[in-house]
Amino acid sequence: MGVGTYLALASVLFGIGAAGFLTRRNMLIQLMSIELMLNSVNVVLLAFNRVNPGNHDGQVFAFFVIAVAAAEAAVGLAILIAYYRIKKTIDTDDASLLKY
Amino acid sequence: MTSAGTILFVTTAIFAMAGGLATISARRPLRAAIGLLVHIISLAGMFLTLNAQLLAALQLLVYAGAVVVLFVFVIMLIGPASEVRPIEGRFASRTLSLAVTIAIVLAVSTSLAYFDLPWGAASEDFGTVEGLGMAIYSEALVPFEVVSITLLVAIVGAVAVARSRTE
């Protein structure tokens, strides 16, 4: 059970998030997929920090990733609500105002 | 790593993958949010196997306590419209995106799975509130303050964007 297992698991979790972001058209679920991808990166940071525990650099970085992810979720959901007010749906296929 | 750590890792890994798959495959967003909750809680358990006690607590507080609740509030606010109709057609692009993602993930994860480095000997305060807190407040003080401003800007921006303009 080495560090490689953690890295492989993190890449699988990142892939789940990426697949969700690419194949779904529900904006809420796409935002949740972004959270999945951000979380998988934290696993990599913590695993490498555990290999080299002389400093806390990886954990400090993961701390900032969590903080920025919280800000991103708040702003993303605010944009979703603004979009819902305009379109009355959260289907991203209908977000075509800039297309024409 | 001890055998108890291995058992915890395997359990949390299975639950994290199941939660992630439930999140991206659920038709109802509320079920997706519950899948995300399962994923986050199991990742917090996995952080414990990596001696990251403070980050496990923060993961529970920030993600399970704040982000998921925010998602559930938005689902409640939007109501039935939070469920969008299934996609019709475009099988080629959907299949292609899924296939490319799966191929990349298989390549990366199988090549990484046998990569190994010895775990270092962690000191007594590695990952605890004291150790990580000292690291943040001594080496990363400026980024910490910048993050607090970022959060403030995000709050103001969220209120400004989501505010109703009818008055």
Query: pLDDT per residue over B99-118, tens digit each?
Result: 999 999 999 999 988 888 88
Higher pLDDT, B57 or B93: B57
Question: Residue ranges per domain, chain B?
Answer: 1-83, 125-167
pLDDT of residue B80: 85
**Chain B 9-48, CB below 8 Å of chain A: which residues?**
9, 13, 16-17, 20-21, 23-24, 26, 29, 32-33, 36, 39-40, 43, 46-47
Considering its fold, how many domains does chain A have in total?
1
Percent residues over pLDDT 90 in chain B? 70
Measured CA to CA, the distance from residue B23 to residue A13 in angstroms comes to 12
H helix runs in B27-115, sequence order? 29-49, 53-58, 68-78, 91-112
Chain B residues with CB under 8 Å of A49 CB are: 50, 52
Task: Find the domain containing A20 and state its range.
Answer: 3-93
Give me the residue label for tokens 């103001």. B156
Residue A79 — very low, low, confident or very high, per pLDDT cuts 50/70/90? very high
Q: Does the pLDDT value for residue B75 go beyond 90? A: yes
Task: Give one DSSP letter per residue of A40-79, joined into a string.
Answer: HHHHHHHHHHHHSTTS-HHHHHHHHHHHHHHHHHHHHHHH
**Taking residues A65-85, what's their average pLDDT?**
94
**Taking residues A53-73, what's their average pLDDT?**
94
**Chain A 13-72, CB below 8 Å of chain B: which residues?**
13-20, 22-26, 28-29, 31-33, 35-36, 39, 42-43, 46-47, 49-57, 59-60, 62-64, 66-72
pLDDT in tens, B119-146: 888 888 898 999 999 999 999 999 999 9
B71 touches chain A (CB under 8 A): yes
ipTM associated with this complex: 0.93
CATH number at residue A37: 1.10.287.3510
What's the gap in Å between the CA of A86 and the closest CA on chain B?
11
Q: What is the pTM of this model?
A: 0.92
**Taking residues B38-62, what's their average pLDDT?**
94
Q: Between B141-162 and B129-139, two packed helices, what is the crossing angle to 10 degrees?
A: 90
Q: Does the pLDDT value for residue B167 go beyond 90? A: no
A5 touches chain B (CB under 8 A): yes
CA A29 to chain centre: 11
Using DSSP, state whether B166 is helix, strand or coil: coil
**Taking residues B93-99, what's their average pLDDT?**
89
Residue B166 — very low, low, confident or very high, per pLDDT cuts 50/70/90? low
Report CB contact under 8 Å: B52, A62. yes
- Look over chain A and give the mean of its residue pLDDT values, rounded to a whole number: 92
Higher pLDDT, A70 or B167: A70
Measured CA to CA, the distance from residue A7 to residue B68 in angstroms comes to 25
pLDDT in tens, B10-35: 999 999 999 999 999 999 999 999 99
Tokens of B124: 């007594």
Question: Domain for residue A30, yes or no?
Answer: yes
What's the gap in Å between the CA of B126 and the closest CA on chain A?
7
Report CB contact under 8 Å: B84, A12. no
Query: Tell me, which fold does domain B1-83 have in CATH?
Result: Four Helix Bundle (Hemerythrin (Met), subunit A) (1.20.120)
Residue B1 — very low, low, confident or very high, per pLDDT cuts 50/70/90? low
Q: Does the pLDDT value for residue A54 go beyond 60? A: yes
A86 touches chain B (CB under 8 A): no
Measured CA to CA, the distance from residue B52 to residue B152 in angstroms comes to 27
